[in-house]
Amino acid sequence: MFALVVRFDCRDDEAAARFDELTATAVQQITELEPGTLVYATAAVEGEPLARVFYEVYRDRDAFQAHEDAEHMRRFHELKNPLLTATRVEFLQPGPGKGAVSGEPA
């Protein structure tokens, strides 16, 4: 199990709208093409209209690397980066819990 949380801060409302469009396309491709991606949940941050958070869980580090190397993700990164003012990535060490974060299937 390999998990991370990513926070993206968009430049402005227009950038946030474009980021959301790109995200919807990426999630569709991830769902169709990445069996090793167990959870790929995206959310807007309440009270911060320009912030987005992704929670990602992969079968293992190899599945994460396959995700990062996939053409659809390279394209997503290329198109999203100019829309952002900041990105923060936190890699997680799963502990006790229920569902995918605990190492149990969701």
pLDDT of residue 16: 98
Per-residue confidence in pLDDT tens, the chain, 106 aa: 899 999 999 999 999 999 999 999 999 999 999 999 999 999 999 999 999 999 999 999 999 999 999 999 999 999 999 999 999 999 999 888 887 565 554 4
Q: Spell out the domain ranges in the chain.
A: 2-94
Amino acid at 49: P
DSSP 13-75: HHHHHHHHHHHHHHHHHHHHH-TTEEEEEEEEETTEEEEEEEEEEESSHHHHHHHHHSHHHHH
Q: 42 and 1 in contact (C-beta within 8 Å)?
A: no
- 2-94 folds as Alpha-Beta Plaits (3.30.70)
Q: Do residues 62 and 88 lie in contact, with contact meaning Cβ atoms separated by under 8 Å? A: no
From CA 77, how far away is CA 92, in angstroms rounded?
Answer: 21
